[in-house]
Amino acid sequence: MEQIQEKERTFTTEKRPYISFYAGPLTCKTDIAGLEFDFNYGARVNVPEGDWRVKLIDRDCCLTLYDEKASNVLVTSTKKYYVNFRIEVYRNDRLVLSHDMDLKQKKVLIKFPVGTLGDIIAWFPYAQVFKYKHDCEVYCAMAPELAELFKPVYPDLHFIGPEERPESIYASYYMGIFFPCDDRMHQPVDWRIVGLQKTIPYILGLEPVEIRPKIVPQNLERIIAEPYVCIATQATTQSKYWNNGTGWLNTIKHLKAKGYRVLCIDKENCHGSGSRWNTIPYGAEDFTGALPLQERVDLLFYADFFVGLSSGLSWLAWAVGKPVVMISGFSLPLTEFYTPYRVINYHVCNGCFSDSSIEFEHHDFAWCPRHKNTDRQFECTRFISAEKVCAVIDRLMTDHNFKL
């Protein structure tokens, strides 16, 4: 536990903030002047000057976490994720405040980071589960373009801007994957072990089960008459790419031979860093661009299926309800949502992103922790063949009775 003066904290992964931690003034007052508490950014208790003693208890573990004297100080728990706290405050060794955290009918803030797509889509449905479990009033602070995707399906939640903070918030929780990965202040488990999605129910004290979020189209008019498939080939780091030089070329040929139009819906048609640049694959129709996400949803809705990487558009296609062929070697299947059409080659190096002994380096676009600058660099996807991907596509088409 800590005794601190309240101030704004910022956790950064690069130069820009990933998420800001600001709990604001304490919101739960008492009949004793200067004695206040809440559960914003952990359990917080402010005591005035005097002979005070503060206890913080985990009710689920039946464990006293903190028991110390205090005077004119803010006491806060070191754990900032969901804990079923009990607060006890003594003055002159006499109990003057006992409070069991009770979220029912209270305002709760769930804050999501900005600048990421797939993570937010993965994490969002747990906000509604949390609301129903505790019968509380949940405010989701998130990027407006993502909020607009969820509003039609989740009317029981309140959507606010990423830095907004309503008055009288009783408790707040911060969603994310936090670095270094052994950070146990913001996350109770290592997300590399439990997966990108299931780390959030651990943070919120929920059952760690996979939940598919729901995102629906707004324009129900089909704009492309012919059968088509959407693909996305770009990613935020080179290790996520399908680094087989003819992979996409031969897969697109295969899809076209099946009778499909192949639409590339990446934001960028060329992306990279330093000496590594990746362009839209030959043969794909260029539907790239910084378009509103809702337009991507409307386009995905009428696609037969989606072929992509471990990236945000794969999560978006999954949320829309499309079958997803996911090509990834740097992550293990537990990292992303379950799809029976996951393609990975276990005969070569794989799974570095899911390895709890390796820390992901955001700043290094060419990150390949085991074989960087060797002839084995990115072998995890270089040795995923187009033949394998095409075989998975054929199985998907059979499973879903797609006959053209």
Q: Based on the residue annotation, tell me whether 119 is a catalytic residue of this protein.
A: yes
What is the structure's pLDDT at 17? Answer: 62
Q: State what percent of residues in the chain have pLDDT above 70.
A: 96
Q: What are 89-101's pLDDT values in tens digits?
A: 999 999 999 999 9
What is the structure's pLDDT at 20? Answer: 82
What is the structure's pLDDT at 404? Answer: 75
What is the structure's pLDDT at 247? Answer: 98
Report the alpha-carbon angle 180-182-185, nearest 5: 95
End-to-end CA distance of the chain: 63
| Cα gap 192→171, rounded to integer Å | 27
Model confidence pTM above 0.85: yes
Query: Residues of the chain whose pLDDT is less than 70?
Result: 1-17
Q: Point out the catalytic residue in the list 51, 102, 119, 286.
A: 119
